[in-house]
Amino acid sequence: MATTSDIPTLMLRGSLMDVSRCRIMGILNVTPDSFSDGGRYTDTASAVERGLRMAEEGADIIDIGGESTRPGAQAVPAEKEIARVVPVIAGIRSRSEIAVSVDTRKADVAAAAIAAGADMINDISALRHDRAMADVVADSGLPVVLMHMQGTPETMQMHPRYDDVVEDVLNFFCERIAFCADRGISRIVIDPGIGFGKSPQHNIDLLRALPRFAALGHPLLVGVSRKSLIGAVTGLPVDRRLAGSLAAHLYVCRHGAHLVRVHDVEETRSAFAVLYALERGEVPAHAL
């Protein structure tokens, strides 16, 4: 059992977020082609309402993305990505105090999102895609998610190979954390990148090794919701992967993850509530 001093901290919206219990990051893709919910929230009004609904359902952070990073996805120009995400960030920020993250690997998009009220940068390239991104993050003082990805979204699932996937990804994070330290970036979240340049077995190996990633001393984010790993295990299509996703969320919650990135906020919150009640041995006061 980790002690209080072992638990990393995450500063969002001017206060420390308690990550001693697993926090929920709700996924809001404002794209026409994301693998699970592409095309559902392409207009600003519906996207803002979806974000606010996730906040009501119990999300702790809303992660807004304007470029699909599913396997085989093509890059989107920064101008189009900005046009997709900035109005949604501004719309949510005008009506809610919930923390907002922007899912982008481009410095111009990150800067525009920060100006609109974003509280965190989620970079699937771990500051490798755009050389200017490190300066944007450092100047903002905001936390950044560093994700591991082998290759690019266009190529990452073309025969991914590792000498040892756990050691290779751990070494990657050690290098990236050192890079950030050199650039004056200390507020880091790490994400092993489930499904980003990994086979189903690679993903299993990484999830079973989560305590080793948590031991790096930074908040650990895991995104496995509805992904191909769930499909590989269950044999079910994307729209029938809720139960498998919840099982994965409960597993990672108890094996080192501090945050989970999910499509199904209300269901995940309910699963966590039952888990915590059973572990505490008491019904929450609000349910009495």
Instruction: Show the 3-state SS of the chain.
Output: CCCHHHCCCEEECCEEECCCCCEEEEEEECCCCCCCCCCCCCCHHHHHHHHHHHHHHCCCEEEEECCCCCCCCCCCCHHHHHHHHHHHHHHHHCCCCCEEEEECCCHHHHHHHHHHCCCEEEECCCCCCCCCHHHHHHHHCCCEEEECCCCCCCCCCCCCCCCCHHHHHHHHHHHHHHHHHHCCCCCEEEECCCCCCCCHHHHHHHHHCHHHHHCCCCCEEECCCCCHHHHHHHCCCHHHCHHHHHHHHHHHHCCCCCEEEECCHHHHHHHHHHHHHHHHCCCCHHHC
> pLDDT grade, residue 37 (50/70/90)?
low
> pLDDT grade, residue 287 (50/70/90)?
low
For 258-286, what is the mean pLDDT?
Answer: 94
- CA-to-CA distance for 229 and 248, rounded, in angstroms? 10
> pLDDT grade, residue 94 (50/70/90)?
very high
Residue 34 has pLDDT above 60, yes or no: no
> pLDDT grade, residue 288 (50/70/90)?
low
Read off the pLDDT of residues 206-235 as tens digits, 9 standing for 90 and up.
999 999 999 999 999 999 999 999 999 999
Single pTM value for the model: 0.93
Catalytic residue (choose from 23, 106, 198, 261): 261
- CA-to-CA distance for 206 and 195, rounded, in angstroms? 11
> pLDDT grade, residue 39 (50/70/90)?
low
Q: What residues does each domain of the chain span? A: 22-277
Is 106 known to be catalytic? no
CA nearest neighbour of 259 among 126, 143, 141: 143
pLDDT of residue 33: 56
Could you give the percent of the chain with pLDDT greater than 70? 94
- CA-to-CA distance for 178 and 165, rounded, in angstroms? 20
Could you give the percent of the chain with pLDDT greater than 90? 83
Is 261 known to be catalytic? yes
Read off the pLDDT of residues 63-76 as tens digits, 9 standing for 90 and up.
999 998 877 778 88
- Least confidently predicted of 10-19, 40-49, 95-104, 274-283: 40-49
For 37-45, what is the mean pLDDT?
Answer: 72
Catalytic residue (choose from 70, 198, 227, 241): 227
For 71-95, what is the mean pLDDT?
Answer: 92
User: Is 22-277 a CATH 3.20.20.20 domain?
Assistant: yes
pLDDT of residue 157: 82
For 40-54, what is the mean pLDDT?
Answer: 90
51, 93, 169, 171, 199 from 160: Cα distances, Å: 34, 39, 13, 17, 7
To the nearest whole number, what is the mean pLDDT of the chain? 92
